[in-house]
Amino acid sequence: MMNNIESFAGQDILSVSQFDRASLNAIFGVAHDMRVLVERFGSAELLQGKILANLFYEPSTRTSSSFTAAMQRLGGQVISINNVQYSSVSKGESLPDTIRTLECYADVIVIRHPEVGAAATAAQYAEKPVINAGDGVGEHPTQALLDLFTVQEELKQMNGLTVVMVGDLRFGRTVHSLTKLLLKYSVSFVFVSPELLRLPADILEAVEACGHSYRQVEDLHTVIGEADVLYMTRVQRERFTDPAEYDRVKDFFVIDQELMEQAKERMIVMHPLPRVGEISYAMDDDPRAAYFRQMRNGMYIRMALLAALLGKV
Amino acid sequence: MMNNIESFAGQDILSVSQFDRASLNAIFGVAHDMRVLVERFGSAELLQGKILANLFYEPSTRTSSSFTAAMQRLGGQVISINNVQYSSVSKGESLPDTIRTLECYADVIVIRHPEVGAAATAAQYAEKPVINAGDGVGEHPTQALLDLFTVQEELKQMNGLTVVMVGDLRFGRTVHSLTKLLLKYSVSFVFVSPELLRLPADILEAVEACGHSYRQVEDLHTVIGEADVLYMTRVQRERFTDPAEYDRVKDFFVIDQELMEQAKERMIVMHPLPRVGEISYAMDDDPRAAYFRQMRNGMYIRMALLAALLGKV
Amino acid sequence: MMNNIESFAGQDILSVSQFDRASLNAIFGVAHDMRVLVERFGSAELLQGKILANLFYEPSTRTSSSFTAAMQRLGGQVISINNVQYSSVSKGESLPDTIRTLECYADVIVIRHPEVGAAATAAQYAEKPVINAGDGVGEHPTQALLDLFTVQEELKQMNGLTVVMVGDLRFGRTVHSLTKLLLKYSVSFVFVSPELLRLPADILEAVEACGHSYRQVEDLHTVIGEADVLYMTRVQRERFTDPAEYDRVKDFFVIDQELMEQAKERMIVMHPLPRVGEISYAMDDDPRAAYFRQMRNGMYIRMALLAALLGKV
């Protein structure tokens, strides 16, 4: 467990379960400083001469670009390895050998891989720090950190908030990870989803075990007025076996300006992006729409992590 | 309209129609300084800490590499996003959201896209400067600028020149853009093409409206002696429905050393490249062959634009 | 012929035949300094403002990343051109024109190409230095240099060594090149392979012509005790027309901890990687396993070459 910022040096970032409130505070403090640094100066030379290997076994322009920019804004350089030919049965090189090769060249490795546990395997073989940038249905810890950091930066507090999570709560990896992190604070939850796409039992049990207040509802319209944080995700038609059922519920999870009139004046709308219709474009100019600031926060969090893992804060 | 170099700061570069003679002079002055800088020192640190997002929805190694080198030679860094999966009907992210995401990370965005108007859409949503690196059959303004800059650098003047444009003048985007820019100066035109591939009526009308002298001919051999600037483009066999017609005319638009004996001693041969047979390799050592210097000028023009848009000149 | 480090400036690196003992000593001296530099400081600014064009007509993550890291650790920048669409019959641009375009932007060009002689063609047209990073069944000189440099760094001498080469000696490009380089020193060879995959006649004749002691055997077990350098390569099942023959011999060319008990205490195991079963993972912690250090030496050799070709040592 990392509990102050110095203790991040040389560590791997594999899971949100590595973080407690002390380490979250520590990394958010650095991330905030990174934001100030970028807003005032654009960049720094903290990681000059350092190299990040960006190893993507599946494409993710957004995450890959965010890590690249984070490294570059600190003066470091990036080796991009995209669209790695991957097949567990092919005659290709094993993940451990790829990792050991890359750490001959780089100082820190970011890995995205379709298989759960791949990042942990990479970290086991690497002597250099490894950051999990998504391992299939497993974890994507920097996404959860940037989500929580956004709440902190926007609302200046975590305790006492009502967090409304909306959409596909069953398969939504970002919802699961953010919920786990929020359990460390005193928040109330409202989970809004079709019955089919409710939060998995184990996450719900963790919420209950922490004694947090929560409700599960099916229609956003009835609860939007309570939200301090409205966390939207996409509901995919493909999840439904019965198209009629999809058509019945699909508007329950969409926001527009009219619905936002019922929301508090001081609250934020978040979305991990990409969105596909669940937030209308007209919403973008609403000051409560935080999803692009959230995107920028991703760069600040990754700057903070890169600097901390390389012992430069 | 940008009319001095300071007024470029924060602007977008979408079309040659944004430029008048004052702004062309301004940017060519900076581009010339960039050439001197590169020839003497190789690089500078003018854009240190700045990031360019190079967003290519269709491949173009030449243009992409030129922008990358331009940014790097000024000390900046590049996020390359190549082969973006693109389909207007797919469930993928919309162009506005992609642009808004990228500007969270980068200071300036270069976009190449197969659809006319894509760069303008990008610029509409971006707060950071956007440069159009080709939008389908639309515009590719930095190509036109580097073409005109090459004339300026090589011949030290624009007024009084005879410009001979050769090849596919109907579909050749570079010919159309360069012709529009040349209308701002006192030049004579000779348009050399098969009848099938003549300049579109609207461009020809613009030439007439400006009162410029021009002729349309079918065979380069008869006019090569007049050229101060010989701008070659490729004639593709596929444009012809009748192969016999292609075979009849194809040699009318090809130059070699023998034909060049009829050309002036002080003139230049340009080509946007890639070439496929219309200029023989033996020509490359002729001092009048300017097409590789033209390529290098592309880097200088892009250096000048990047520095100007980022307010660093 | 390059015979001191200053004479590397502006040269191309196309073949191991360019090197004699003086030039090998010179480049290994610089590579050793690069190792010390990286181990102590991580990076330097020797090539700040310089640009490498990494032109890969076929994918090779390992080699491409190694050159990229080498350039970046010296403060330089990289233009990566991967997966170039390549077809000798297509209407695409010719290699000479691609090279001439790239040298408008870059200071040095690394090329990997599936056709023998492609790098030499590139060097013929380029004024800037060209490094061959593999041209089909031709050469891959930086691999041979890093192999020999590894022997030097690990064992501090070349003369008097017994080098045991194992596996596919017929098609193994790395074996051929390393053998040629080793002929410049007083070494004894043992070539271990199935009869089908013996060293080609011309290489064997070169060994004989140099008066070096050598043997050809079929089973590694009988000779492992003699090795100062054990150079492993992969034996592919596909090389055999008779699967039974493959099954009979396949264990003759595999090492594990048990077999290594028969090896000297001071010796090294090398492999160009990727490996596919011929060295067990359990071997990796054996201090004699040099293949990951060999990988890192590749970066040092490439740093040395880039600096030397650009006249910066």
Say which of C43, C69, C274 has its CB closest to residue A97.
C274
Q: Could you give the CA distance from residue A123 to residue A142 in angstroms, rounded to a whole number?
A: 16
Chain C, nearest residue to A82 by Cα? C61
Instruction: Work out the end-to-end distance of chain B between its first and last CA atoms, rounded to an integer number of angstroms.
Output: 18
Average pLDDT, stretch B150-154? 98
Do B66 and C93 count as a contact with CB atoms less than 8 A apart? Answer: no
How high is the pLDDT of residue A246? 86
C142-294 fold: Rossmann fold (3.40.50)
Q: Identify the helix (H) or strand (E) that includes residue A79.
A: strand A77-81
Neighboring chain B residues of A276 at a CB cutoff of 8 Å = 91, 93
Say which of C59, C80, C273 has its CB closest to residue A101.
C273
**Measured torsion, CA atoms of residues A102, A107, A108, A114, in degrees rounded to the nearest 10:** -10
Order of strands, sheet of C214-217, starting from the edge strand that comes earlier in the sequence:
C214-217, C188-192, C162-166, C229-232, C268-270
Contact A109, A55 (CB under 8 A): yes
Q: Which parts of C78-172 fold into alpha helices (H)?
A: 95-105, 118-125, 141-155
Instruction: Work out the end-to-end distance of chain C between its first and last CA atoms, rounded to an integer number of angstroms.
Output: 18
Interface confidence (ipTM) of the complex: 0.93
- A4-49: per-residue pLDDT in tens? 899 999 999 999 999 999 999 999 999 999 999 999 999 999 999 9
Structure tokens at B292: 């590789």
What is the Cα Rg of chain B in Å? 20
CATH of A5-141+296-309, one of 2.60.40.420, 3.40.50.300, 2.40.50.140, 3.40.50.1370: 3.40.50.1370
How high is the pLDDT of residue C88? 41
How high is the pLDDT of residue A4? 87
DSSP letter (8 states) at residue B219: -
CA C206, C207, C211: angle at the middle one, nearest 5?
110
Q: Is A143 helix (H, G, I), strand (E, B) or coil?
A: helix
How high is the pLDDT of residue B91? 46
How high is the pLDDT of residue B2? 79
Average pLDDT, stretch B42-52? 96
Distance from CA of C241 to the nearest CA of B (A): 41
Distance from CA of B72 to the nearest CA of C (A): 7
Contact C73, A80 (CB under 8 A): no
Neighboring chain C residues of A101 at a CB cutoff of 8 Å = 62, 65, 273, 292, 295
Q: Is the pLDDT of residue B86 over 60?
A: no
Chain C, nearest residue to A93 by Cα? C274
Do C79 and B73 count as a contact with CB atoms less than 8 A apart? Answer: no
Do A69 and B80 count as a contact with CB atoms less than 8 A apart? Answer: no
Measured between alpha carbons, how far is residue A307 from residues A310, B128, C68 in Å?
5, 26, 22
How high is the pLDDT of residue C1? 65
Do B299 and C104 count as a contact with CB atoms less than 8 A apart? Answer: yes
Q: Could you give the CA distance from residue B223 to residue A219 in angstroms, rounded to a whole number?
A: 75
Q: Could you give the CA distance from residue C189 to residue C227 in angstroms, rounded to a whole number?
A: 9
Domains B5-140+298-309 and B142-294 equal at CATH topology level: yes
Average pLDDT, stretch B24-29? 97
How high is the pLDDT of residue A166? 96
Q: Could you give the CA distance from residue A173 to residue A179 in angstroms, rounded to a whole number?
A: 10
Q: Is B189 helix (H, G, I), strand (E, B) or coil?
A: strand
Question: In the structure, what pLDDT confidence band is assigned to residue B1 with cuts at 50, 70 and 90?
Answer: low
Neighbours of chain C (3+ CB pairs under 8 A): A, B
Largest CA distance in chain C: 58
Q: Is the pLDDT of residue C302 over 60?
A: yes
Chain B, nearest residue to C75 by Cα? B75
Q: C5-139+298-309 in CATH: which number?
A: 3.40.50.1370
Q: Identify the helix (H) or strand (E) that includes residue A188.
A: strand A188-192
Q: Is the pLDDT of residue A84 over 90?
A: no
Say which of C43, C59, C295 has its CB closest to residue A104.
C295
Residue with tokens 């410049």: C184
**Measured torsion, CA atoms of residues A97, A101, A104, A105, in degrees rounded to the nearest 10:** -150
Q: Identify the helix (H) or strand (E) that includes residue C66.
A: helix C61-73
Q: Tell me which CATH homologous superfamily contains domain A143-294.
A: Aspartate/ornithine carbamoyltransferase (3.40.50.1370)
Phi, psi of B217 (to 5 degrees): -130, 170
Best mutation target among C77, C95, C121, C124 (most B Cβ atoms within 10 Å) is: C77
- A185-240: per-residue pLDDT in tens? 999 999 999 998 999 999 999 999 999 899 999 999 999 999 999 999 988 888 88
* Chains A–B, number of C-beta pairs less than 8 Å apart: 58
Q: Is the pLDDT of residue A89 over 70?
A: no
The fraction of chain C above a pLDDT of 70, given in percent, is 96
Q: Is the pLDDT of residue C84 over 80?
A: no
Average pLDDT, stretch B10-29? 96
Q: B5-140+298-309 in CATH: which number?
A: 3.40.50.1370
Q: Which of A101, A222, B102 is nearest to C65 (CA)?
A: A101
- A248-264: per-residue pLDDT in tens? 888 888 899 999 999 99
Q: Could you give the CA distance from residue B284 to residue B291 in angstroms, rounded to a whole number?
A: 9
The domain locations on chain B are 5-140+298-309, 142-294
Q: In chain A, which residues touch B (CB < 8 A)?
A: 41-44, 59, 61-62, 65-66, 68-69, 72-73, 75, 77, 80, 273-276, 281, 292, 295-296, 298-299
Phi, psi of A100 (to 5 degrees): -65, -30
Q: Is the pLDDT of residue A85 over 80?
A: no
How high is the pLDDT of residue B116? 94
Chain B, nearest residue to A292 by Cα? B101
The fraction of chain B above a pLDDT of 90, given in percent, is 82
How high is the pLDDT of residue B4? 87
Q: Is the dihedral of CA C85, C88, C93, C99 positive or negative?
A: positive
Structure tokens at A234: 């996409």
Structure tokens at A136: 């299939």
Distance from CA of B26 to the nearest CA of C (A): 23
Residues in CB range of C199: below 8 A, 6 or more apart: C165, C169, C170, C175, C176, C179, C191, C193, C207, C216
How high is the pLDDT of residue A86? 52
- A130-153: per-residue pLDDT in tens? 999 999 988 999 999 999 999 999
**Measured torsion, CA atoms of residues C280, C286, C288, C289, in degrees rounded to the nearest 10:** 40
Q: Identify residue B209 by its one-letter amino acid code.
A: A
Distance from CA of C288 to the nearest CA of A (A): 17
Structure tokens at C186: 């007083």
How high is the pLDDT of residue C258? 93
Average pLDDT, stretch B227-253? 88
Contact A58, A32 (CB under 8 A): no
Say which of A42, A276, A299 has its CB closest to residue B104.
A299
